[in-house]
Structure 1
């Protein structure tokens, strides 16, 4: 079923969508639309307004979100396997309890998004802004993380073991019990790590410039 440029805001759509066919939404307004429990596997959302859209408990396996915005959208307890989000504003979106397996976020604005409590094998993130986001307990183990801002994000309990950071920022992040064993942080701006962060970086790889800055902040000069 195709929807083009339709105003579907503030409607309950779950019962109107056949479960046996893919759905395409192009430039639709789905503000505060109730899609709870809808069968949306393989669905396409192209340049849609998804602010506060309710995707809770949806089957979104294989879905693709391109452009548009989903500020404060709710994906709690939804199935998201092989889902792609490209150039989507997901600020303050909620993913708690969702199944995230091979999900990719590319070029997304995810300020204040909450992914803590999600399940599955994890996700990848590239060229995205996760300032103030909560990723507590998430796994990005072995991922190549490129062009991501984690400023003031909560990364407590996250697993970045063997991850590679390129052109990233980790300024003001909360790193309580965060794992960076064998992670390559040479491409990350670490700011001025305090002792808690330095403990989190145990086993990580940093470059000489980063090491000098850390020591200089403690009054130690390397000649």
Structure 2
């Protein structure tokens, strides 16, 4: 059964009290549908939203830091300026999602689908892409800082104007062929260089 806006508002209030250590309860909406709800600009940090349906939901400016979104459906979700710091997006489907200006610092995007997603101007500091589908993704003017790639699908991506550093040895797959991630990014318009220092955890 879908949740009503009033029910979600009450759950979010309880979650904020939990976050502030004032009682309340952690938000856990595993497997629930949140479609059609007003969630823009809300505080959902530390929530559990595994396998939740957030497709087409407006999450502009929402705090989703430290949130579990494993296997979540975020197709065509609106996430401009959202905070996804250390969010676990393993296996999440963000195809066609708008993440313009979002903060993806240290997010886990293992096996995530970002095909056709817009990541223009995103902060990708210490983000690690592993088996991520980035085909036709837009990463224009994104900030790369110690970003890692491993076996990611990148055919047709656009990284025009992206700048920063990529972990040395990072590789991606373009049209079925494994290639150096830095070379692939440069071909896609990015101005990136290898990071050869110690990658901090």
Counterparts of 1:18 and 1:141, CA distance in 2: 30
TM-score by length of 1: 0.69
Residues 1:66 and 1:192: Cα distance change in structure 2 (over 3 Å): closer
Unaligned runs of 5+ in 2: 18-23, 173-177, 197-201
Unaligned runs of 5+ in 1: 1-10, 29-44, 211-223
State how 1:154-193 maps to structure 2 within 5 Å: 154-193=133-172
CA contact (8 A) 2:67 2:87 kept: yes
**Offset of residue 22 of structure 1:** 9.7
Counterparts of 2:61 and 2:161, CA distance in 1: 27
- Backbone CA RMSD of aligned residues: 3.2
- Render the CA deviation track for 1:167-194: whole Å, top value 9, x for unaligned: 2211111101111233235233552453
- Render the CA deviation track for 1:93-139: whole Å, top value 9, x for unaligned: 11113222222201111101111122474633111110110111122
| Equivalent residues, number | 183
Higher Cα Rg, which structure: 1
**Offset of residue 195 of structure 1:** 4.6
3-state SS of paired residue (1:167): strand
Counterparts of 2:39 and 2:54, CA distance in 1: 10
Select the residue among 34, 41, 50 that pairs with 1:55: 34
Task: Tell whether 2:85 aligns with 1:95.
Answer: no
Task: Tell whether 2:4 aligns with 1:14.
Answer: yes
TM-score by length of 2: 0.76
Task: Tell whether 2:186 aligns with 1:201.
Answer: yes
